[in-house]
């Protein structure tokens, strides 16, 4: 009698809490085949790959292999169904494809169902096993998310360290960010250069000779807008808790004042790009309370007139401009400065203006220059009028 031919599929993921090793699974395949007198043609192994879907490197190779050699294969061997998939819906589709298109059955070594695969109860039992694997994945996912959320709430930055830092471990061997001094210097310089009026492209060109190697047009923007540089850690929305930032345990590279001045400058430049609208004059000034993106404006029309509104492009939540303007005016009417505050600002303004004037004397016009400029403008005007 001709030996049945099988291929094996072994998998282990990073987060998996099963105790299977790839080598262990391979040994089991060999032992099983020897015991049942099967011929093991090949074993595909996916290491560090999740079973949430079939987008796995070696699984794709396996599919390619079966496309060509399916006539030679009788069984696909797995250690357990959770090695095969932890997604019931996709798993059933793939099983149907293997069985109907290629006439290949799946055998699970550790879960011998003990019924002929044609039996309806076989389908029921296998679905139960797959459902269990699916539930385990959801539990693992939930536990991982909870653990990450907890670590973030402790002020730990998870994930790949941003430029200026490297991933490290503290005394408790828990993840933290460690400063890379020369990269940190470059980051600080970038913030200061931006405040000095250099564009992001110029900053990139200036930083490259200092050892900055990041590629892409948006790399400077990403650095300038990351709150991790002022020591904050982002806690993403989780269940009922909204997204928020908290103080991290890592060392900040930039002070708050510099950072927020840079953000204001970036926002102002973005606003300048967006077209000013006379009617919806708070366009790009108002921000969405959920995602903090600037609101845009739009209008809808009925038979008689247009109705203007502000809208968040992400959440599609619109607000009437009349109501928004009224509330905005209410806020403005409630703000005033005390005499001492005004005095302080006057002094500060004078002091800062003097410093700025001294620093940028060459780039600023003096009185004779302004007179000359006005004279030229007057000449141009005269020419065009008469």
Binding site for other proteins (CB under 8 A): 257, 260-261, 264-265, 330, 333-338, 340-341, 343-345, 348-349, 352-353, 356, 360, 363-365, 369-370, 372-373, 376-377, 379-380
Give CA–CA dist 231/80, Å, rounded.
Answer: 45
Complete DSSP assignment for 209-266: GGT----STTHHHHHHT-GGGGTEEEE--BTTBPPEEEE-SSPPSS-HHHHHHHHHHH
Count of C-beta atoms within a 10 Å radius of residue 6 = 23
- For residue 320, the cross-strand partners are 309
Q: Looking at beta carbons only, is 57 or 346 nearer to other proteins? A: 346
Q: In the bound complex, what is the minimum distance in angstroms from residue 185's beta carbon to other proteins?
A: 24
The helix or strand, by DSSP H or E, that contains position 207, with its residue range, turns out to be helix 200-207
Q: In the bound complex, what is the minimum distance in angstroms from residue 377's beta carbon to other proteins?
A: 7
Q: Looking at beta carbons only, is 58 or 255 nearer to other proteins? A: 255
Q: Looking at beta carbons only, is 171 or 386 nearer to other proteins? A: 386
Q: In the bound complex, what is the minimum distance in angstroms from residue 232's beta carbon to other proteins?
A: 17
Q: In the bound complex, what is the minimum distance in angstroms from residue 18's beta carbon to other proteins?
A: 52
How does DSSP classify residue 300?
E
Give CA–CA dist 222/228, Å, rounded.
Answer: 11
Torsion sign across C-alpha atoms 132, 133, 138, 139: positive
Q: Looking at beta carbons only, is 307 or 349 nearer to other proteins? A: 349
Give CA–CA dist 250/247, Å, rounded.
Answer: 9
How does DSSP classify residue 362?
G
Q: In the bound complex, what is the minimum distance in angstroms from residue 315's beta carbon to other proteins?
A: 28
Q: In the bound complex, what is the minimum distance in angstroms from residue 339's beta carbon to other proteins?
A: 8
Q: In the bound complex, what is the minimum distance in angstroms from residue 281's beta carbon to other proteins?
A: 18
Q: Are 18 and 140 in contact (CB under 8 A)?
A: no
Give CA–CA dist 386/371, Å, rounded.
Answer: 22
Q: Looking at beta carbons only, is 143 or 268 nearer to other proteins? A: 268
Q: Looking at beta carbons only, is 121 or 349 nearer to other proteins? A: 349
Q: Looking at beta carbons only, is 287 or 370 nearer to other proteins? A: 370
Distance of alpha carbon 108 from the chain centroid: 37
């Amino acid at each position: 009698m001709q030996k049945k031919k099988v291929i094996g599929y072994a998998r282990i993921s990073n987060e998996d809490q099963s105790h299977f090793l790839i080598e262990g699974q391979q040994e089991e395949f060999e032992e099983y085949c020897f015991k049942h007198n099967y011929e093991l043609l090949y074993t595909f192994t996916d290491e560090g790959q999740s079973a949430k879907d079939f987008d796995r490197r070696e699984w794709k190779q396996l599919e390619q292999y079966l496309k060509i050699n399916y006539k030679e294969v009788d069984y696909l061997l797995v250690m357990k169904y959770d090695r095969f998939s932890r997604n019931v819906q996709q798993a059933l589709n793939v099983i149907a494809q293997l069985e109907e298109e290629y006439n290949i059955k799946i055998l699970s070594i550790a879960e011998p169902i003990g019924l002929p695969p044609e039996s309806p109860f076989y389908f029921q039992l296998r679905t139960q096993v797959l459902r269990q694997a699916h539930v385990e994945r959801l539990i693992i996912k939930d536990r991982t998310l909870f653990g990450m959320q907890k670590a973030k709430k402790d002020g730990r930055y998870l994930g790949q360290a941003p430029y200026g830092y490297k991933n490290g471990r503290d005394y408790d061997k828990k993840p933290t960010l460690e400063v890379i001094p020369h990269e940190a210097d470059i980051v600080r310089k970038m913030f200061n250069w931006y405040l000095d009026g250099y564009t992001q492209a110029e900053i990139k060109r200036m930083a490259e000779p200092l050892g900055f190697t990041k590629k892409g047009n948006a790399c400077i923007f990403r650095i300038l807008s990351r709150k991790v540089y002022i020591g904050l850690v982002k806690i993403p929305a989780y269940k009922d808790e909204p997204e928020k930032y908290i103080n991290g345990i890592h060392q900040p590279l930039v002070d708050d004042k510099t950072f927020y001045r840079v953000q204001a400058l970036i926002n102002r430049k973005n606003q300048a790009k967006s077209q000013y609208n006379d009617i919806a004059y708070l366009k790009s000034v108002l921000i969405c309370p959920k995602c903090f993106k600037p609101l845009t404006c739009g209008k809808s029309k009925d038979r008689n007139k247009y109705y203007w509104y502000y809208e968040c492009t992400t959440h599609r939540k619109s607000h009437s401009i009349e109501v928004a303007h009224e509330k905005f005016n209410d806020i403005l009417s409630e703000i005033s400065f005390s005499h001492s505050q005004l005095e302080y600002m006057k002094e500060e303004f004078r002091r800062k203006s003097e410093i700025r004037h001294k620093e940028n004397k060459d780039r600023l016009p003096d009185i004779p220059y302004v007179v000359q400029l006005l004279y030229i403008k007057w000449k141009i005007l005269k020419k065009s009028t008469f």
